[in-house]
Amino acid sequence: MKPYSESSAKAPEPLFNKAYSHADVGNQDNLADSPSIEELLNHNANLWRGCDMAGQGIHGRSTGYPQLDSILPGRGWPQKGLIEIISPQWGMGELQLLIPLMRSVIEQGHWILWISPPHLLYAPALVQVGISTDQVLVVNLETSCKDALWSMEKALQTNNCGLVLAWQTWLPGKVLRRLQLAAETGKTLGVLFKNRDSKYSQSKMRLQVKGFSPQTGSFNKAEVTIIKARGNFQPLTTQLELYRHHSQHTA
């Protein structure tokens, strides 16, 4: 079932500046228990290393899809900031891609804010995959763009909000930079759903989702391409079974 019908967490605390205290200076025993350089590097999402190209970093938040994690820097979604998911039309798997993430946010006791979704949310479908509607807030499609963007910025700055989903196809670079700053400040992840790609985007990551034709018998599969990601230097593509999480959760 789809989360909407046509009919109608906190980021890991940085270890830098906390690896040593003044009392540790000269104390070899305490230094021996301190994090290694490798641990410090792996837990700092602001550093992008060559190994991230192959998905070897560990600072990302798992997508719930091993094939996708393997091609993402940090082995998963960024802990904070803006990402974009591009699909030629809505309902091609863009929300299914985020179900494991949404479930994780709900389990952590945080809110999910939906900004101007193109269709009414279908609550039974969300509940079926483990997403409590009591922790979901919606800004309706009829809301003005100014008010919608204000709501998105404030939510990104709020620690209680773990995820912001927004359908805003046309946003100028100045607005994107402001939203990116808000997400970094609040340590929140924001997802922009778009029908068209823009190579000048300020977002940390851009993905494109293409669905397979039902005539091929692969309706539950989608092709996901990483167009841009910090740490990646070339587009990477994988194929995913989007609906397997439904059966796993309801079994």
Amino acid at 218: S
Separation of alpha carbons 238 and 189, rounded Å: 23
pLDDT of 30? 52
pLDDT over 70 percentage in the chain: 67
Composition of the chain by helix, strand, coil, percent to 5: 35, 20, 45
**What rounded mean pLDDT belongs to the chain?**
77
pLDDT band at 10 (very low <50, low <70, confident <90, very high): very low
Separation of alpha carbons 211 and 205, rounded Å: 20
Q: For domain 50-250, which CATH number applies: 3.40.50.1980, 3.30.230.70, 3.50.50.60, 3.40.50.300?
A: 3.40.50.300
What are the DSSP calls for 83-105, one per residue?
Answer: EEEE-SSTTSSTTGGGHHHHHHH
Model pTM greater than 0.75?
no
What are 11-14's contacts with CB under 8 Å, separation 24+? 11/45, 11/79, 11/80, 11/187, 12/43, 12/59, 12/79, 14/43, 14/44
- 23 pLDDT more than 50: no
- 183 pLDDT more than 70: yes
Alpha carbon 185 to chain centroid, angstroms: 16
Map residue 183 onto helix, strand or coil: helix
